[in-house]
Every structure is written in structure tokens, then in C-alpha cells.
Amino acid sequence: MGQPNWDELAEVALARVRAAGAEYGDIRIVESRTETVRGEDRRLAEVRDSRDGGFGVRVLYHGAWGFAASAIRSLEEVPRVAELAVEIARGSASLTRDPVRLAEEPVHRDVVMTARIVDPFAVPLEQKAAMLMETMESLHRQSGIARSRAQLWTRQDVKLFVSTEGSRIHFDLLAVQGELEATAVHDGRFASRSYNTPHLRTGYELINQANLVAEAPRVAAEAVEKVKAPAVQAGTYDLVLDPEHLSLTIHESCGHPSELDRALGYEANYAGTSFLTTDKLGTFRYGSPHVTLVADNTEPETLAATGYDDDGVACQCWDIVREGLFVGYCTNREVAPKIGDRRSRGSNRADSWGSVPIVRIANVGLLPGRASLDDLLADVRRGIYIEGHGSYSIDQRRYNFQFGGDAFWLIEHGKRIHMLRDVVYHDITPEFWNRCDGVANERFRRRYGFITCGKGQPGQSGWMTHAASPARFRSVSVIRGSGDKTP
């Protein structure tokens, strides 16, 4: 991969931007490779090798943005696109009341490469196909399984970022993931149970360690147990949430509200705003003292740990919520000065060469506590243990949410008794996080992430990891997610 003339293309683009009198400009030249091996119902439904290359030029002119991009990487197309970006920025400037002033950032010249032991693209396709087929066969050996799914996903992004300020950063980033799912049918109902690795920036060693084939019998058995399980009785329960489940709860109810562009109204027309308005910074009681949520874009293998963001800002680690108090936002160079920050937190990301970078959630994770998982369960008289992701929805200011899950177990007197189905809990975000009275210790910490976080117009997919240990929440309202029987 890679084009020998990327440096030349970058120089041509930025020369046009400088000549036009713009105060800032950058170019990202990207070539992405995605391999998808997708199995469905005992067959390989898709084996695809996708390449996606192009460049995008971003220009700040008289305090207003312009961006133009093209898939055609030629010495004729690059200056044309750079001039179009300038022309667009000039138009934007005619409708700008509050000119953009970028936060300062040192010039960086660097090379960032994902560490890997096993190159996933070098693993023979036959080996991957055979593993997925064996996984699906194993799922179907369980009586009651009607459908199966198994998938491997690999992505490589080779990128060059160059700015008019002098930054020049080469990236060779990798991410992999594997998953499987079984769907059981019983008595006119159906239910699915899944197992997946997190999306992480590693090599194929992640897939080897996960051993999808070995997990398949348990997943299939639990799918059948789930579809036959009694429906939950609506009421108030203590909840013990596993790390994978919490990754989504953190993402929706803490990650998105902590994006400063939302708080400033940039997303009001689509993804929404945030109840964490700037007047609450440093004073708002977001959660109980057990709740410390840290944004860490420096932890190796995590999705947002890319060395630098698409502003060319170095990745950092900072607190969003410290012992329950709201203390920090995810920012980029544009919005950071609006709350008096001298430096961006480095959370500006685009999902491809053709997209303009926007503020994205960082790797926001829940800091481990001191308990063991057994400690958390032992103190529950009537509760529910929830694993994995299910249905999720939240209002456009991130107050009222509801979450399902992938698997649920009734807890009575400190013991997991049996599975439940149709569990949905709902709450108001700060009320929910103030119900947290215990977080398990570092030994139980796991990392899960997302590559499909939707935001922006045109829509983009954001990538980030959310780490957590299991946590307990007292007296949460649970309803039955089965229509006319609720609540």
C-alpha cells in the first residue's frame, strides 16, 4: 500500500492553500484496506477485500472552514480540489459571526504504527474461512438453534497528515475484531446470544486468543436458555453490569454528553446537544463518588490511541468525571478555546479521507474500584446481572435512556439464579450514575469499543474504546420489553 508521491501531492495542495491567503490548511491522504469474512447460516455469505483511497484538504479562511476531497490522487486533481476547498471556505466566511481561532499545538513530525505480532492480512483466507465454518457448525449442533453468524473484520489505514503549520505525521494503523452469534427459536419467539472480541488495534493474535470455536457451544446453549427463560417482572432491581454492557452505557450517557461541540450546539440538528452544558463544568454532580470516568487516548491497543488526531494534536489522558464531579470535555482545536482551554484534548477525527474531522468521544472508561465481582453480587437481594449489548436509545440531550442487553440473569440473595428475557432498564443519566455504589477492581477490567458511532452530517462512524470493570447500580427501574405486557 501507499503511493510514492504522497509528499509531493501534499506540497502541491498546501502551496495552493498558502497562496490563497488562508490562515490554516491541512491535507490527509489515506488508503484504507478492509477485509470482511462474513459467515451466515453455515455458509460464507461474503468475502470482501475493500480498498478506499483518496485525499481531503481542509482550509481555514478568515475564520471559516472549507473542505474538499477526491478519490483521484493525481497532480491535476489535487490543486483543483485544494482551490475548491479555498473557494468553499470563502463562501463560509460570508456566513460566519464568530470566527474560528485554533488552539495552539506544537508542530509534530512523527511516524505512528500499530504494534502487531501476527499480520492479519498474512493469515491465509482458507484458515479464516475454515474457522468460521467450524464455529457455525458448532453453533448448529445445539438443538433449537435456527440461525448462526460468524465474522472476522480487519482494517488497515495508511495515512499522511500534513499541515501548513509544519506538522507531518505518517500513520500505519490496524484494527481487528471477531464475533459469533446464535439465534434460537422456541414457542413462536426467537432470541440471540453473541460473543465477540473487542475491536482493538492489534494483530491477528487477538483472534487466536479469543478462540471463537471454543466459545460456540456455550453461546449456543445460552441462546436456547435465553429464549426459554421467563420474562422479567417489571419493577425496581439492583443491577450488576458487566464491562461489555457498560461500554455502551458509558458511550451513550457519558461519552456523547462530554463532546464539547454538542454542548455548544453544533449537533443540534442531528445527533443532539448535551445536558452537560459549559456552566456545569467543575460543579455538576454527575455521579456518585465511586464514579471516575477517564478519557485515555494513550492506552496501547485502544481504538482512539492513534498517536495524534486529525487536527495533528497528540493523544492525551484526562478526567471527564472525577469521583462523581463533571470536570472535562472531549475537544478539538476549534472548540477548546471556547471554554478557555489553551490546548485541544486531541479528539478531532474523520472516518475517511472524504470526511471532515469532527469532535469524537475519546476512550472514556470507568476507573476500577476495590471490590471483586463476587463482592458486588453478594450484597444484592433482588437484582439482575446483565452482559453484552442489546437495544439502546437516548434522548437528544442525553438525559433519558433505556438499555437492554445480550444476556440477563436474576440475582437473589447474592447468587445468580437463572436467565431472564426481555429485560430493559431506563433512567435519567445523572440519577443513574449516582446510583452506582461499587465498581470491581482492576482484575475484572475489560475493554470494548465501537466502530459505528454515528454523528455528523454527512454521517460519519467514530471509533473509540470504553474500558470498565463490573459495576453495581441500586434501585433501577426495569420494564419488560415485550410490548403490551409492559411495564
Footprint of another protein on 309-368 (CB under 8 A):
354-356, 358
Residue 4 is a binding residue for another protein (CB under 8 A): no
Instruction: Please compute, for residue 124, the number of CA atoms within 13 A of its CA located in the half-sphere on the CB side.
Output: 4
Q: Measured from the CB atom, is 84 or 384 closer to another protein?
A: 84
- Residues 122-181 touching another protein, rule: CB under 8 A, are 124-126, 129, 133, 146-147
Contacts of 173 (CB under 8 A, 6+ apart): 112, 113, 114, 156, 157, 158, 159, 201, 306
- Residues 191-250 touching another protein, rule: CB under 8 A, are none
**CA 233 and chain centroid, separation:** 32
- The cell numbers describing 252, all together, are 451513550
Question: Quick one: which of 79, 106, 89 has its CA closest to 21?
Answer: 89
- Binding another protein (rule: CB under 8 A), the pick from 195, 266, 308, 329 is 266
Residue 71 is a binding residue for another protein (CB under 8 A): yes
Q: Number of residues in contact with another protein, rule: CB under 8 A?
A: 87
Work out how close the CB of 250 gets to another protein at its nearest, in angstroms, rounded to a whole number: 17
Sign of CA dihedral 458, 459, 465, 468: positive
Question: Quick one: which of 104, 159, 163, 110 has its CA closest to 332?
Answer: 104
187 neighbors 214 (Cβ within 8 angstroms):
no
Q: Measured from the CB atom, is 77 or 375 closer to another protein?
A: 77
- Residues 37-56 touching another protein, rule: CB under 8 A, are 41, 43-54, 56
304 neighbors 465 (Cβ within 8 angstroms):
yes
- Binding another protein (rule: CB under 8 A), the pick from 11, 15, 18, 70 is 70
Work out how close the CB of 147 gets to another protein at its nearest, in angstroms, rounded to a whole number: 6
Work out how close the CB of 368 gets to another protein at its nearest, in angstroms, rounded to a whole number: 30
CA distance 198 to 210: 10
- Residues 414-443 touching another protein, rule: CB under 8 A, are 422, 424, 426, 428
- Residues 82-101 touching another protein, rule: CB under 8 A, are 84-85, 87-89, 91-92, 94-98
- Residues 443-482 touching another protein, rule: CB under 8 A, are 457-458, 477, 479, 481-482
Residue 487 is a binding residue for another protein (CB under 8 A): yes
Q: Measured from the CB atom, is 10 or 30 closer to another protein?
A: 30
Q: Measured from the CB atom, is 199 or 389 closer to another protein?
A: 389
Show the site string, 376-415: x = touches another protein by CB under 8 A, - = not. ---------------xxxxxxx-xx-x-x-----------
CA distance 464 to 200: 9
- Residues 146-179, buried b or exposed e (16+ Cβ, 10 A)? ebbbbbbbbbbbbbbbbbbeebbbbbebbbbbbb
Residue 75 is a binding residue for another protein (CB under 8 A): no
Contacts of 240 (CB under 8 A, 6+ apart): 373, 376, 377, 380, 383, 384, 385, 386, 411, 470, 471, 472, 473
Residue 483 is a binding residue for another protein (CB under 8 A): yes
